[in-house]
Structure 1
């Protein structure tokens, strides 16, 4: 597995781990407190998961933006990257609005230089390298969203995460098709 793929998978694992930790803290708190404490904890649990998802969307936007400026993409691939970046921007906006609505301050994006280092974008030398990284990021994002749905307390937020995971899965499938990757034989590709 390439370095940039290992880094992306690790980021998704951190998302799942932090979500599980937030859920565990929330579960412990609701055992101790009453209904009001449980309701506050549910909001806090959801807020933490949403903030982490927002950070993932910032990463996706940056990855497509940086790749788009790299000169490695053909016009057709650049158009797809820009479309997917637009989807991620809409996801970001929805998640940031939720965070604000829950009384939080939306997570800020890192700098492009930080994302380039985190994702090892300097190792990308061709369009196929960019597509391989994007495929890894999209699959990780779909799996991360799916993995968090059951931990969300608010059904409307859980539905949003289901919709987000579907978008990420479409991105993954589109990129796999473009790369000529065979359809996976095994079921349960995400989660």
Structure 2
């Protein structure tokens, strides 16, 4: 399978947020914002961070839709993918509600074709390719949510981020198992 392009799942967090790579969200969270800046405009920063997470959920929903429509999945794998997509839809709804509680406007999804192009969907040739892409996205999302927790000023959303990180890690574990990946010998696996 072709490796995801380094520029996929990204957009700078300004104005109308589209998508952001999990790596980009982690970089945004990791020390690039001075402590003084984190103290000022806390609700606005939380809206921005939660919208970046919401963009990841939009991408995840689209990725599972692309996989479902690809014709490359066995019926059993398709059923699991649809279930994982439903989890991402719940995450989307919870994040959008959190953003609204902070007085922000939730990021909207892009057309599925844009996600397909960004994810390199045309290069997916079989079920294994699809599963490897899904695993890569789920691992990235897990790390992004773990990085989000200490960056949110509103501690009421720490549990939301932790729960979503747990779901993403579960998805990654299932996908890794299906792909017969070895169990990592060193912990922590995420973060």
Q: Which category of TM-score, normalised to the shorter sequence, fits these structures? A: 0.7 to 0.9
Rounded to whole Å, the distance in 2 between the matches of 1:9 and 1:100 is: 23
Q: Residue 63 of structure 1 contacts residue 115 of structure 1 at CA under 8 Å; is this kept in 2?
A: yes
Q: Residue 68 of structure 1 contacts residue 82 of structure 1 at CA under 8 Å; is this kept in 2?
A: yes
Rounded to whole Å, the distance in 1 between the matches of 2:183 and 2:9 is: 20
**TM-score, normalised by the number of residues in structure 1:** 0.88
Rounded to whole Å, the distance in 1 between the matches of 2:142 and 2:190 is: 6
Q: State the partner residue of 2:145.
A: 145
Q: State the partner residue of 1:118.
A: 118
Matches within 5 A, 1:94-113: 94-113=94-113
1:42-98 deviation line (CA, Å, top 9, x unaligned) = 211211110000000000000001100000000000000000000000000000111
Matches within 5 A, 1:37-48: 38=40, 41-48=41-48
User: Which is greater in Rg?
Assistant: 1
Specify which of 28, 36, 43 is matched with residue 37 of structure 2.
Answer: 28
Matches within 5 A, 1:27-106: 27-28=36-37, 30=39, 38=40, 41-106=41-106
Q: Residue 142 of structure 1 contacts residue 190 of structure 1 at CA under 8 Å; is this kept in 2?
A: yes
Matches within 5 A, 1:12-23: 12-20=22-30, 23=33
Rounded to whole Å, the distance in 1 between the matches of 2:44 and 2:86 is: 28
Q: How far 1:27 moved relative to its partner?
A: 2.5
Secondary structure of the residue aligned to 1:150 is helix
Q: Residue 19 of structure 1 contacts residue 48 of structure 1 at CA under 8 Å; is this kept in 2?
A: no
Q: State the partner residue of 1:163.
A: 163
Bigger mean CA deviation after superposition, 129-138 or 148-157 = 148-157
1:77-126 deviation line (CA, Å, top 9, x unaligned) = 00000000000000000001111121111101011111011111111000
1:132-191 deviation line (CA, Å, top 9, x unaligned) = 000000000000000111111122201110101000000000001111111111211111
Q: Residue 67 of structure 2 contacts residue 73 of structure 2 at CA under 8 Å; is this kept in 1?
A: yes
Q: CA RMSD in A?
A: 2.0
